[in-house]
Chains A and B, each alone.
Chain A
Amino acid sequence: MSTYTTEESTVEVAAAVDAPSAQRLSSLDTLESEAIHIIREVVAEFEKPALLFSGGKDSVVMLHLATKAFWPGKVPFPVLHVDTGHNFPEVLEFRDRTVERLGLKLVVGSVQEFIDRGELAERADGTRNPLQTVPLLDAIQRNKFDAVFGGGRRDEDKARAKERILSLRDEFGQWDPRNQRPELWNLYNGRHTVGQHVRAFPISNWTELDIWRYIERENIELPGLYYAHEREVFARDGMWRAVGEVSQPLPHEDVITKTVRYRTVGDMSCTGAVESDAYTVADVVVEVAASTLTERGATRADDRISEAAMEDRKKDGYF
């Protein structure tokens, strides 16, 4: 092992790093292995897990990892989609096709139904991302899910950066960031009492670039809007918004056709596109590696509301 003395300018270290043994796993393999371990732990220790699946890239990667964890068996849990009603049609189509391909059960929690019943009110800014919490908790309770897999990554946001891999939620789905359980080694403690549930984040330690490198390596199919395509857009809040049923330009907002792609997929009315000529996954890897903006900074109006927007939503039970 290494010995250092401060009098010498040369650093002596174990030779292992300069001549890595053939066995040394790449960072992507290590992350994959860690995620599969977590997915299997949760399935082994919980009665009724479910996986949040929106058709977005992180949840697609999660589902891919789950298929690998249980191969050649079926993925042993249903998927849950909290539908804002503000969807990109191609993402919904992709969702249904994926669920069909893997023979999974799909549970849908609908924001629209809650609005129709008067149990949720449309926000003044029209954004429905923050409204997902109520249907999410309702679906969890109704289906008695005791663990819910999410595709949240710690590099997405400063509040997510603080969350444990297994995150305990109380009867109201709330996260208490000031009083999290210790999480030691990779011994995950999923004990909970009646009414509580656990959110599990197996890809906590992946970055956006890891996700894309993995999609490239594993040849994972994604909804087409993640790649460069032509679209009618207008500028709002410094982002390109797609023209669609729920996302109409105001009179002073000019509609133009641009070559864009999406870095995240959420409520269509508040998710922005970025100008891009990344037509293939290899192009996207290069683009993401060179990007000077974070994915949320570039594409999410809802995270710009306040300094602690994500923390506040998570405390209330958000993903």
Chain B
Amino acid sequence: MSTETAFLQAGLESAPLPSTLFRFATAGSVDDGKSTLVGRLLHDSKAILADTLDAVARTSADRGFGGDKGGIDLALLTDGLRAEREQGITIDVAYRYFATDRRSFILADCPGHVQYTKNTVTGASTADAVVVLIDARKGVLEQTRRHLSVLQLLRVAHVIVAVNKIDLVGFSEQVFRDIETDVQKVARELGLGSDGVADLLVVPVSALDGDNVVDRSERTPWYTGPALLEVLETLPAADELEAELESFRFPVQLVIRPQGALAPDAVAAGLDVEAYRDYRAYAGQITEGSVKLGDEVTVLSPGHEPRITRITGIDFAGTELQEAAAPQSVAVRLADEIDIARGDTIAAAGTVRESTADLYASLCWLSPKPLREGQKVLVKHGTRTVQALVRNVTGKLDLATFNVEPASSLELNDIGHAQLRLAAPLPLENYLHHRRTGAFLVIDPIDGNTLAAGLVKDHPGDHEDERYVI
């Protein structure tokens, strides 16, 4: 082993904590520099290997990037499809990975073009944080407002705004402050920011040159906040927050019941065949909260009264755990022999409401086929899919005013409200407090395509939602 790798290994061994995962996505209008920013982050954090950089440099030169000055088109690090390279735009989300000493990052570079909003929603739906870019020369555009509305709708935990191409406005503080003021106004109108009150962090950057991306820049002396990467390294991840919630939730994915068909490798390793003959456990991923042996839980199954029982085992591939928390995938055993199947939910006792067939929701409509009243759709919630009837469309968001206006249909990229009647009751919960059990898909029963991202709202009369526009 060379001294260099030995040194590296010493570094690995002395790492104090295992790194944790953090997911972030980009958003913003076309050509604001999202892909360039992601490329810059990857490049400056040394996450690009030599052969990838060579390939990108060759393509940049072939395409005459940077004119006489030359240079590398960092956007090519994520714009990997042929069509994207030809048109110089992003069409679909690219996922890239890099790690610092503190955490491992999953980066989702999303498109800005309005036609590809569904892909941006895809990238943002799993993100712990989203960086919204704004071109310093253009300020807040309609597409910026659309993306910010989507992020508000999805309740993305952290939204950061990067005022990009600050090099093209002579590093002007005035330009930056004006945009910052506009952004804070939009954020207040939408109720964006942590718990809807704090200001957003707005950072002046040049994705092309690297100012305030990984390191703070001397060319913006008037900006005294952190560089982007510093922020991303320190924000808490969403599942970190979810694991701390009181309310254990566990949608059952499937029942593990080998009935004698035990895994031969487990048997060879000494598994007691007799002891496992009647083994029965419920497999799933904890969506929020945590659970310990002995905890009282409620089982919600369609067509049954809620049933109370106790947790007698938490299994993970042969290891018996004392406790587990979101987002762990485990299998739980229960004290009572009750009939449980995929689609049922196990929850901390006394923390769930009864299932309901009346669904009040916010929708982000992602299909060119519009939503109409009276239409039949499928709703996929947790581990269940049920038929649903669209009773009313109750309004849609006007991007210019952020008012919800009356509407009777939703078109591509609209954000609106609707009321649906489900063919069977579901354990619906308000998305505001339950990101996983408050989310659902609207699916086209004819071709199976996903039509919308759905977020459960409270029933009218429960006033939880009222301080929010959407």
B317 interface contact, C-beta 8 A: yes
Taken together as a complex, chains A and B put the C-alpha atoms of A29 and B236 apart, in Å, by 17
Judge whether B392 is part of the interface by a CB distance below 8 angstroms: no
Residue A193 at the B interface, CB < 8 A? yes
| B125 within 8 Å of A (CB atoms) | yes
Sorted nearest first, the 9 A-B pairs with minimum C-beta distance are A158-B80, A191-B448, A297-B51, A26-B18, A73-B258, A68-B317, A1-B194, A4-B201, A36-B329
What CA separation (Å) do A135 and B227 show in the bound complex? 51
Q: Which B residues are in CB contact (< 8 Å) with A17?
A: 102, 234-236
Q: Are the C-beta atoms of A23 and B325 separated by less than 8 Å?
A: yes
Contact flags B10-48 to A (C-beta < 8 A → 1, else 0): 001000011111000000000000000000000000000
Which A residues touch B329, using CB under 8 A? 32-34, 36-37, 40, 69
B153 CB, nearest partner CB in chain A, Å: 12
Which listed residue (A72, A159, A286) contacts B266, Cβ 8 A? A72
- Within 8 Å CB of A311, what residues of B? 80-82
Interface pick from B134-142, B332-340, B435-443:
B435-443
Describe A's contact surface by its main secondary structure: loop
Can you show 27 pairs from A to B with CB atoms below 8 A apart? A1-B236, A11-B231, A11-B234, A23-B290, A24-B243, A32-B329, A67-B265, A71-B315, A72-B276, A72-B279, A74-B263, A74-B264, A101-B264, A155-B96, A158-B94, A162-B93, A180-B92, A182-B453, A184-B439, A184-B441, A185-B126, A185-B439, A186-B126, A277-B1, A289-B8, A290-B5, A308-B82
User: B83's contact among A16, A75, A178, by CB below 8 Å, is which?
Assistant: A178
| Contact status A28-B18, CB under 8 Å | yes
- Using Cβ atoms and an 8 Å threshold, which residues of chain B touch A112? none
Are A184 and B317 neighbours in the complex by a CB distance under 8 Å?
Answer: no
Residue numbers in B under 8 Å from A161 (CB-CB): 78, 80, 94-96
Which segment of B249-257, B293-301, B349-357, B399-407 sits at the interface? B249-257
Q: A27-B21, A72-B276 are contacts. A6–B201 as well, Cβ < 8 Å?
A: yes
Residues of chain A contacted by B327 (CB below 8 angstroms): 25, 30, 33-34, 37
Residues of B close to A7: CB separation below 8 A: 224
| B268/A101 in contact, CB under 8 A | yes
B113 in the interface, Cβ–Cβ < 8 Å?
no
Q: Chain A: which residue is nearest B202 at the CB level?
A: A6
A5-B52 contact in complex given A27-B104, A184-B439, C-beta closer than 8 Å: no
Asked whether B328 lies within 8 Å of A20 as measured between CB atoms, the reply is no
Asked whether A11 lies within 8 Å of B225 as measured between CB atoms, the reply is: yes
The interface bits of chain B over 80-91 (1 if a CB of A lies within 8 angstroms of the residue's CB, else 0) are 111101000001
- Which of the segments B115-123, B306-314, B421-429, B461-469 contacts the partner chain? B115-123
Tell me, in angstroms, the Cα distance from A27 to B118 when the chains sit together.
27
Number of interface residues of B (CB under 8 A): 108
- The winner among B52, B103, B382 for most chain A CB atoms within 10 A is B52
Instruction: Provide the residues of chain A in CB contact with B254, threshold 8 Å.
Output: 40, 43-44
Report if B408 contacts A (CB, 8 A): no
A219 CB-CB contact with B under 8 Å: no
Contacts of A33 in B (CB 8 A): 285, 327-329
Q: How far is the CA of A311 from the CA of B59 in the complex (A)?
A: 16
B121 x A11 contact (CB < 8 A): no
Q: Are A74 and B21 in contact (CB under 8 A)?
A: no
**For residue A119, which residues in chain B have a CB less than 8 angstroms away from its CB?**
none
B contact patch SS: mixed
Measured between beta carbons, the chain A residues less than 8 angstroms from B265 are 67, 101-102
Q: Is there a chain B Cβ closer than 8 Å to A136's Cβ?
A: no
| Interface positions of B (Cβ within 8 A of A) | 1, 4-5, 8-9, 12, 17-21, 49-52, 55, 59, 78, 80-83, 85, 91-97, 102-104, 106, 118-119, 121-122, 125-126, 158, 180, 194-195, 198-202, 223-226, 230-231, 234-236, 239-241, 243-244, 253-254, 256-258, 261-266, 268, 271, 276, 279, 283-285, 290, 315-318, 325, 327-329, 331, 342, 366, 380-383, 435-436, 439-441, 443, 447-450, 453
How far is the CB of A18 from the nearest CB of chain B, in Å?
8
The minimal Cβ–Cβ distance linking B429 to chain A, given in whole angstroms, is 14
* Chain B positions within 8 Å of A282 at CB level: 9
Which residue from B199, B231, B266, B435 sits with its C-beta under 8 Å from A5? B199
CA–CA, A167 to B418, complex, Å?
29
Determine the distance from Cα of A75 to Cα of B276 in the docked complex, in whole angstroms: 16
A189 to B82 alpha-carbon distance, docked (Å): 26
Which of A37, A102, A204 is close to B285, meaning CB atoms less than 8 Å apart? A37
Q: Are A162's CB and B17's CB within 8 A?
A: no
Interface string of A257-296 (1 = CB under 8 A from B): 0000000000000000000010000110111011111100
Chain A residues positioned under 8 Å from B198 (CB to CB): 1-4
Contact present for B94 and A72 (CB under 8 Å): no
Partner of B121, one of A71, A72, A184: A184
In the complex, A292→B47 CA distance in Å? 10
Asked if A294 and B51 sit within 8 Å, CB to CB, the answer is yes
Partner of B380, one of A158, A189, A283: A189
Give complex CA distance A71, B18 in Å: 26
Known A23-B290, A67-B263, A73-B262; contact A193-B447, beta-carbon cutoff 8 A: yes
Cβ–Cβ < 8 Å partners of A27 in chain B:
18-21, 103-104
Contact status B328-A189, CB under 8 Å: no
Residue A144 is within 8 A (CB to CB) of chain B in the complex:
no
Chain B minimum-CB-distance residue to A293:
B51
Does A245 reach chain B (CB closer than 8 Å)?
A: no
Given contacts A67-B265, A286-B5, contact A13 B234 (CB under 8 A): yes
Instruction: Say which residue of B104, B224, B230, B253 sits within 8 Å of A6 (CB atoms).
Output: B224
Contact indicator A187/B256 (Cβ below 8 Å): no
Is A181 among interface residues, defined by CB-CB distance under 8 A? yes
Closest A residue to B227 by CB, please name it: A11
The answer on a CB contact under 8 Å between B450 and A189 is yes
Complex interface residues of chain A between 153 and 200 (CB less than 8 A to chain B): 154-155, 157-159, 161-162, 164, 177-178, 180-187, 189, 191-193
Contact B118 A185 (CB under 8 A): no
The closest CB in chain B to the CB of A297 belongs to: B51
Bound together, the chains give a CA A69 to CA B268 distance in angstroms of: 18
One digit per residue, 1 when the CB lies within 8 angstroms of any chain B CB and 0 when it does not, for chain A 97-114 equals 000011100000000000
Residues of B within 8 A of A43 (CB): 254
Name the distance in Å between B136's Cβ and chain A's nearest Cβ: 15
Smallest CB separation, B104 vs chain A (Å): 4
